[in-house]
Each structure stands twice: as C-alpha cells, then as structure tokens.
Structure 1
C-alpha cells in the first residue's frame, strides 16, 4: 500500500512544481523523466544490491574513522568534559568532529583530489541527465561544498550568464549539504540514508528546477568556465590552520543556532500554550505537513509525529529535527524511518534562504539580487519539493 501512496505522492510533487513554474511551455519532460529514472536506479543500486550495500558500508566506515580521529583530539583537550554521566554530549560528539572533517576535505581539495571528483561526477551527470553542463557541475559542487561556498566558487561564470541560471543555482543550493556535517548526521540517523539522500537531492534539484525555471542553453553557452589560478600556490600549513579555524567557527555557528532556535521554540510554545494547552509550533507544522507525510507512505499512527519533524527542520534546521528523531528511531517502522531520515538530509529551511540571499547580495550586482529576492518563495518551494521527492523515491524501495 505504501508503494502506491508514494507513487501518488511523487505525482503530487511534480504537479505542484508544474503549477509553480515560470514557463510551463518550456518544460522538457523527456529530460525530467530521464533524471527521475536515474534517481530510481541510484536508489535501487544503493539500497537493494550487494555492491551498493558494500559501497555504503565502506563510506560509512570512512566517516566513522574520521569521527574516531576527531575524538582523539577532542578527548585530549576536553577530557572528562566530553561525556556527561557517561553519555557523550551532543556538542562534543557531533559538532566538535566538524573541525577535523572540514580540515580533512580541505586537504583533499588542496591536492586536487576533491575537485577532480566533483568534475568527474559533474561530467557524468551532465551526460546522463541532458541538463546543461554548468547546472550539473553546480549540483555536484553543492553536494560537497554547501550553498554559499558553491556560489562563491562559481561567481565569475554566474556573473556572465543569464539571470535565470543564477536563479536555478540558488534553488539547487536549497537542497545541498556540506561534507563537513555528514559525520554529525551519521551519528543521529542511519548512515545509509544520509549517503543515498545526497545524490538523490542533487538529481532531484535538477528535476524540480527544470519544472520551476525551465530554459534552453545554446551550445556556445553550454560550457563550464574554469577561472585562472592566481599567484603562487598557498602554503599548506597556512591553508590547514585556516581550515581548522573555519571548522571551529562552523561548529560554534551550528551550536549557536541550535541554542537560539531551541530556546525560541520553547518560548513560542509557552506563549501559544496560553491560548490552548495543545497549541505549539510543532503541532501547527504537523497539521500543515500531515498530508505530505501521508503521501510519503507513513502509517496513520505515525503521520503526526513525522510531520512534526518535517516542520521543525523547516522552521529551525535539520540538526534540531534529527536530534529529536534519534531517540525514537527504534519505535518507527523501516519505511517511516527511511522516508523521514532522507527528508531531513538537506539545508532546506528558512535560515538557508537568508544565507543564500546574503551570499547573492555580497557576490553579485543589485539587479541579480532583486531577482533572487523576488523569487525567494520559489527557493523555499524548490528545497521542500526536492526533500519530498527524495523521501518518496526512497520509500518505493523500503517497505
């Protein structure tokens, strides 16, 4: 039954994207169908085949190794403060490892390993999906770098391109994650759902933006501009020091946002509770997202709970939602665990909209900034629909 409901849910997602399109006549349905088939193949391979399962185990063990290495430094500095009553604290075990993980991937970038991986995946993705090369490369970049970093890296080409392509890049950025936080995700939800959601989000973002903002790119414009390298190569240890400081800032920024948003939700719920004892932000969002939770194939008894997590992710961020989901994972059936876990793996929330708009304002001219500001709601719709599509596609294979 959940399979049929998921199929209906996917059709509903496509229908909403179609209705919100800037140019419905320009939609390339053949390309969209091709990308959707690619999503199905990726999910089938990673969740049902032996090779896919082995790939997930290898990558999961790799990230667990990164976390283990991180904890050696954390234990050396903080000692007994790492755990509270024998239980590792969220800040120490989930956020502090970000420092080493960011540094590790910056080392891979310094030696050209990560850029080569991004270029290779982007090239294959553009060939398979028939999407423009730049958009395919950008979708690959945001899988690893995050939204504002990807915008900064590609700003020179985006400044030369049609404004519609910048809008697509910003919409794609709503569905990204940063490789530095993957270790944190894997400690809160099943690593296999983290790893399957990342490529599905990338392809899904191309699908949804092909609905929302369709356009044709000429052969002359279908290029990826590689800016010339300036000056001599940066000193390795200088890069490494900056990278670790960046990781530390990221961990503190996430911690600050978690403290602030959690406190804000508590304060809001206290005020709403004065109106009615059952009135809260969680319950309001649960009501709004309940139809979509049902279309994800969630059982009736768990629809309200799942829709609360979906609402918390949108209003705050995925770490808040994952932190609350983690203690009850063993109470959810396999299908429900799969769809809500994959739904949460992205940066799509209200604060990300502000981050992207701020990045555009600092990197591009006023005209491009006004375009993005005018289409802010499309950014949010894009990110939400991609998360729904990813969850529903995964739901087809987990019952």
Structure 2
C-alpha cells in the first residue's frame, strides 16, 4: 500500500486525485493532506480519508479546522505554515507526493519531496519553470521518481521509450508537440479583449479547472509555462518543442520521431487519466474516466497559434530561450497580473503587457541557487505591482 501526501488537496487536481484514490482503497492510504484556506472542504476530506496529518497554509483556517476536527472526534493532527508543509512532503513514512499546490507556493515543499527521493507526481508546472536545472539536478541526485501529471507532459511521457535517456537525439526523437485548446477566446475578435471579464475567462470550453489556471489557459500563458516545463522534463531545447492549437482537447500531445513516426496519446479531457497513470505507474488502474469514442468526436482539428492573440505564449517561449531567472520572473509577473485581473484591478488584455514590461525591466541572471530564483521572483512581483497600479491609473484618467 502506497502512503500518499497530497499537496493542494482542495484544488481541482487534489480533488481528482482523491477521487481516483477512493476507487482503490486497498492500494493507497492518504497519510497527509495540505491546502490553503478551504477548511470546510478539508474537513470533509478528513472525514472520508482519515489522514494522520493535515497542514493549512492559512493559520486562521487551520485553527477553525482544528476545532471542527475535535468536535467530530477525528484523529488528524492539524498544523499550519510553510515549515510544516515542507515537513509532510519529506516525511520518511510517505512514499508518493502529489505536488498540486498552484504557483510559486509549491516550490519549497515539492523541492523537499524530490530531495527526499520520493515518487513525485508533478502537477505544479511553476516549480520547473522557476528552478528547472536546480530541480532536475536535485531529483537526479536523490534518485527521486518524477512523473508528469499535466495532461500534455503525461501524454509525451507515455509516448516516449520506456527507458528514456538524456537528450531527445539519443532516442530518435525529432521534437515533442504540445497541444492546446486555444482557450475560450480563440475566435473572439482581438478588439474585444479589453472587455473580457474574469467570469468569462474562467469558463474553459473543455476542462474543469481552478480560477488561476483557467485564466492562464485563456491567455495561453499556461501553454507557455508548459513549453518551459517540457524543455526541462524531456531534456529538450526550445527549438525541439512545438505548440499546436487543437480545439477538441482529445490528442493531449505528440512525439515526432526521426523515422517519420508520430506517436500521440488520446483520451477524453479528464485529469483523472494522467493522475491514475502517475499513481499506478508503471502499471495501469481504472480512473473513472468515460471511454473515448472517436466516432462520436468525428473530427480532430489542428492549426498554428496566432502569437498576436496569444502574446503570453510568445513571451514564455522567449523566456525559455533566455534561460536563467527569466522564467521565474515571467511566472511571478503573470501570477500578480492574473490576481489583479481576478480582482477587477487589471484588464484582460493588459495581463501580457504587465509580463512584457517586467521582463524588459529585469535582466535575466544565472539561476545559481533557490535564493537567486526567489530574489528574481520578489523583484518581478514588485515591478508587476507597480505596473498594474500605473495601468489602472492610466485607465481612470
């Protein structure tokens, strides 16, 4: 029986992970759960899965949860703060860590899990975006098993040879191809982008996701972050990674081999498929996903992304080529811009503008340590906040 730690259990990936786990009670045991501030949902998860430890990022939520757990007579120990989140991620009793905390907040616990040599199911793309070389070096040094959970990277992983070695050229791969739905605004006139509301941007045509990743999918920053992540996961140069728009989200990604073969992984757009693959790898288990019917789908479309429409994707590709701390700055600026947009403090079409201005203002440095990366993150957030205030004032004048 695998002992699990789920970082981000109340988010979309966390909830889907628990759904798969519940289908295999004799195979997995939830040892620890981690979340931000949703103590109401966490209480329900504790009641169902009976973990040993629960850590909340928010102290107030943790204290409410502790009282509720005591009132129900449940045995889970309730803790809070980054120190305890890191502790449960590297706990010697844990076999597998689902890393699904959104954004930069997931960096330290996920890094702790790989340094402890865990089997890490990586659903937090920002970790590799921020500290790619450092993270991969730590994973290799500790002998950690790193399995991608993003549907695109999981698809590529499934289409790779079973014993992947360093460098795509060594295994006869010409390139990897990330597919993208294009988001909810792929046919919206560019002149209408200034009018897009958070409610509209959070409605993805194919996937059910949290707010932040839904906005990133609408701007295609999500695909840009995945572009950077793919370079690190598969030891690929930026020129060996392509992006293609595929509105149906049935082909999750492809691997193009030098002999002309193109292998693709297909499935209904449901995150339980890559989650189940990661949990059971190298075996297969039932996920609860509806079987794919190609005759019902009938048509699969593919076309090149328009970089005028998806400026965030273009910026992410440029950050990948720049390397160093540029991807960390890109991610930090985007997180600030998306948060401002969700709070109606920034226009949708200004998200990419904030990121662009931050990248132009910050010169990329060597990402020699986590401290260097976090410093770039802090600088980028500060500049992004200043840019957001300026844009807001300009729009009001």
Structure 2 length-normalised TM: 0.25
> Higher helix fraction: Structure 1 or Structure 2?
1
Q: Which has the higher contact order (CA 8 A, sep 6+)?
A: 1
> Higher strand fraction: Structure 1 or Structure 2?
2
